Every structure is written in C-alpha cells, then in structure tokens.
Amino acid sequence: MSKNYRILDLLRRGRTPLENHLIDGLIDGRISRREFVRHGSLLGLSLPLLGRIGMAAGFGAAPSLARAGAPGATIRVGSSVPAAAIDPVTIADAGGLLVMQQVAEFLCVDGPDLVLKPALAESWSPNTDGTVWTFKLRKGVKFHSGGEMKADDVVASIDRLADPANSSNALSVFTGILQKGASKKVDDYTVEFHLDAPNGNFPYMLSSDNYNAVIIPASYKGGYEQSFDGTGPFKIEKYTPKVGASFVRNDDYWGEKALPDRTEFTFFTDIQPQILALQGGQIDIINQMPVLAGVAVLNDPNVDIISLKSSAHQQLHMHCDEGPTKDARVRRAIALCLDREKLAAGLMKGRSALGNDSPFAAVYPSTDTSVPQRKQDIAQAKQLMEAAGLAQGFKMTLTTERYLEIPEYAQLIQNWVKEIGIELELNILDQSAYYGDAVFGKSNWLDSAMGITDYGHRGVPNVYLAAPLKSDGTWNAAHFKNKDYDQLATSYIAALDLEAQKADAGKIQKLLLEETPVIFGYFYDYLTATAKGVAGVQPTAMSQLFLDKASKG
C-alpha cells in the first residue's frame, strides 16, 4: 500500500516531537510496525490511533480480533499452591499472584506482544525528559466492596509498594525509580508520578508486568484474603488455603462482562498430577507447563499449547572479584563451551530463543540484532584459558535450584566445561534453601561463586539491567562492578526514544560479551496447556491468566 501523507499530516497535529519522531521512524523504515505499535503504546498513544497511523503509512489494517465464544461456562484451572498469604504488597509466587489477579486490576496490561493496553488508566504520557508521567484514570470503576476507584486509591496502592517499611516485593522495581510520596493526586481522575530519574519505560512498572501493582482501596490495612477486594471482571466466591479458589462473574464490572459464569482453581504441589488431571478431564487449563515435565502433553492431540515468546531465562552468574572467574577471559571461555543450538533444540524442545549473554532477548524491540551471536568454540575457549594461566583447568562448585529444567541445564554445562579442564561439582538445592533470605550473606543464590537462577519474564529489560548487573544491584550475585556498564544502563533506562534505546542496547550487549559476568544461554517460551475446545484463554509470561473471554466448545 502507498503512503497517504495528507492523512499522516492530520494525525501528526498535536503530537509531541517525541511521538512524531517515532512516526518518522515508521515512515522511513528505520523501525518495524511491531516496534512502532509497541513503543507507541508505551508513550501512551491509543491503539486505534496507532492503527490509523499504520494504515496511512502504507501498512494495511491491523488483524481483527477473534470472535467471542459462548457465555456461561465454568473454567477449571490447575496451578501451583500459593506459597504464602495472598497480599498485594508481598506476594511473590506464581500461585498467589494468579489468584490475586483474578479479582484485582492494573492501570495497564502488558500483552503477549509487549504492547501496553489501557485498563484502569485510559491514557498516560511523559513530560519532555521522562521524569514525570501523568496517568488519566477511567471513570465509573467500582470496587467489589462498592466504592468508586479514584486517584486516592491509586496513590495509596503505589505508595504501599514503594515504602521500604512494608517489605514490599515491588521494591525490586521501584527502588531508585519511585519513592513513597512521589505519586501525586492532581484531581480525582489524574495521578502524576514524579520519578527519581528519567525513565523511558516507566508505564511497564505500573502494568501487569509488575505483578504487585494492582489497585486496591486506599483504606486497605492488610488481611487481603478476608476480602479479595478489587475492580476485576470476577469476584471471589470461596478461597481455601492450600486447596483452591472459585470466582463468579462480576455483573457490575466497568468493561465487557466476563463470558464464564464461574472459574475454579485447584492447587497442586507438582506438575505431574496437573497433567493427569488435564488428560482425565478434571481441569481445563494448566497455567504453566514446563517443557521437560510436559513432554507427554506437548504432542497430545486432545491438548492445545499456547506458546508465548518471553524474556524469562536462567542466569548463570560467576564471581567477578575472586577465584578463577575473576579473570574475564575465564568467564568468556566458559561461555564459549555452551552449545546454544543444542540447548534450544534438545533441552528446550525448540521452545526457546538463543541467548547472547546479555538481558536483551529477541523479543525486545530495543535489542540490537546486528551484534554477532556467540557460538560454541572450544578451541578459542582453550586459548583463553591458556592466556589466563589456567590451561590445566580448575575445580569449582556450581550451586543452583531444583526448578524447571535447571538441574539438567547444570549437568550439560558440567559436561561441556570438562573439555577445557574445568571440573564442576553440582550443588542442587530446593528453592527455599537456594534463595535463603535473599540478601547477601544469607543466601546460597547471592553468595555462591557460580550459580544458576531462574528469572521470570519482564516486558522491558530494566530490572534485568539493574538488579543483577549494576554495581549497587540488589541481586548482583556476580559481584560485577563496572562504571561504563552502570552509565550505559542508566542511559538506556532514561531514554524515551526507541532508536536511542537501541543505540545504548548495542553498546551494553558488546560490553557484556566482553566481560561476561552472567551467561544468558536461552530465553524460554511460556507454555500454557488447555483442553481441546477451550478458547479465549489469555495467559501472560508473568504467570497471569485472563479468563474473561474464555469459553468451552
């Protein structure tokens, strides 16, 4: 299709220089339509407007949404057991956040395409340098308890999460970005967020990407399991700790009413009973299906697999300040031992993307794809070991968690590094022993000289760039301290413009290939299994499950 410059000129009117620069990138071919829609949504441009601009720029109409299914079903879900009391401030496990998300909503939702969609907020926009973001709230939204959701509720909800005194799980997101008291009510339907520093990706911190950031009443004082108060399309019917939960349609919902009459969640301590329950017809959905444990159902004709590309991964950290891995040449040598194609095809059964030893997954529009992919090269690895004075190799312990395919990944690494003389002893712990208190000095994760840790999906790489890699990072298990890196990460996080983000990303990717404090071997797909005939299920790679459009054939 040809470009319609008259329509484009009309659509440009009133747009900011930043927004028009993004439109120029689409018209000139510097960025793809996918990148344009995703970044435009981040800047607060509406999806209909982005669609009209795409049409005028010659890209044709966006694909239409699938037709809704039949109403009235009961949708039955199998999930992991919530690990602790369900509280929006402290919740940190997949089972707990899945239950909470059924009743409570976010200001915006990060979809499987990483496009931000409005939810409790209708729109948002940054100031010129990205230090203040303004969110306009939807009017007429009611909590299940009856009151209208307004700015006071939003301010109170986010302040709780940003307050260090609350042991908030979201401090990993908000520390250094948003402090308690920096969320300001402008009027009943407008909130300003005054940030510690410029942040071009901030709306993701208030989206479903930050699973704690649900909006609940300002009056909340704890005891969430007694109320399960929220604004969502379902209301709590019954919750039994360690057993399950059920929900019913909220007929007072602000948006389209949910299709199912009820949803039921059954908690399981292991994946195998979930697989048997799905195959036996006791449940309709397994929220997350690990690749290795789920091989039996991946090719089952009675099961559909929803596969989402994600940024979830298993980080292999190496101490950069002591022991043999203090030398970057040794760290690079270890990274060169990995056969990433075999990891993707064998270990992950084709359900992953190759990692290139930085947080920049293929799923991110800002990833610089021109940076060469690291491949297995044993000869070069041996040369690096010799240059480091360690041609004879050494012994070391690799400590990790018993979770998903990590133990098998550790065994593959153990075998591969033998070729350059490294003898790895594996120390595989249950998750509670591995993570400990999750602070330095009291955590096998953070204190091990070499370890493998699971990192869940994020719609933008900010948390990955900061927490495990910046000099002052709260999860810097590699003890990596590099001023050049810190400056580049800060610059990337501050950038509002997609092309500026890409430029910083390329520099970060090259620096981390040189230093290799952490090996990113692969980014795994997030898999959800559903029984045949179940439609309209929308998982996210953050372990959420949106069921308002679900139906049974």
**The 3-state secondary structure of 146-195, one letter per residue:** CCECCHHHHHHHHHHHHCHHHCCCCHHHHCCCCCCCCEEEEECCEEEEEC
Q: Does domain 104-224 have CATH number 3.90.76.10?
A: yes
Taking the CB of residue 339, how many other CB atoms lie within 10 A of it? Answer: 16
Q: Output DSSP code: residue 343.
A: I
| Cβ-based neighbours of 34, under 8 Å, separated by 6 or more | 113, 365
Cα(488)–Cα(460) distance, integer angstroms = 16
For domain 308-523, the CATH architecture is Roll (3.10)
26-29 long-range CB contacts below 8 Å, 24 or more apart?
26/53, 26/54, 26/57, 26/59, 27/3, 27/57
Spans of all domains in the chain: 3-55, 104-224, 232-301+531-550, 308-523
Residue 485, judged by CB atoms within 10 A of its CB (0-12, 13-18, 19+), counts as buried
Q: What is the DSSP letter of 67?
A: P
Which amino acid is it at 126? P
Q: Which of 491, 506, 498, 459 is nearest to 22 (CA)?
A: 498
* 128 CB-contact burial (10 Å; exposed 0-12 / middle 13-18 / buried 19+): exposed
Provide the residue-wise pLDDT of the chain in tens; the chain has 553 residues: 678 878 888 888 888 888 888 998 898 888 888 889 989 998 888 889 999 998 888 887 665 545 568 999 999 999 999 988 999 999 888 899 999 999 999 999 998 888 999 999 999 999 999 999 999 999 999 999 999 999 999 999 999 999 999 989 898 899 899 999 999 999 999 999 999 999 999 999 999 999 999 999 999 999 999 999 999 999 999 999 999 999 999 999 999 999 999 999 999 999 999 999 999 999 999 999 988 888 888 889 999 999 999 999 999 999 999 999 999 999 999 999 999 999 999 999 999 999 999 999 999 999 999 999 999 999 999 999 999 999 999 999 999 999 889 999 999 999 999 999 999 999 999 988 999 888 899 999 999 999 999 998 999 999 999 999 999 998 999 999 999 999 999 999 999 999 999 999 999 999 999 999 999 999 999 999 999 999 999 999 989 999 999 999 8
Supply 417's token pair. 């590094």
pLDDT given for residue 33 in this prediction: 87
Cα–Cα distance between 529 and 526 in angstroms, integer?
10
> What is d(CA 141, CA 64) in angstroms, rounded to the nearest whole number?
27
How far is it, in rounded angstroms, from Cα 325 to Cα 332? 9
Alpha helix (H) ranges present in 288-430? 295-298, 328-337, 340-342, 378-387, 406-417
Beta bridge partners of 400: 428, 452
Q: Which fold has domain 232-301+531-550?
A: D-Maltodextrin-Binding Protein; domain 2 (3.40.190)
Amino acid (one-letter) located at 169? N
pTM beyond cutoff 0.85? yes
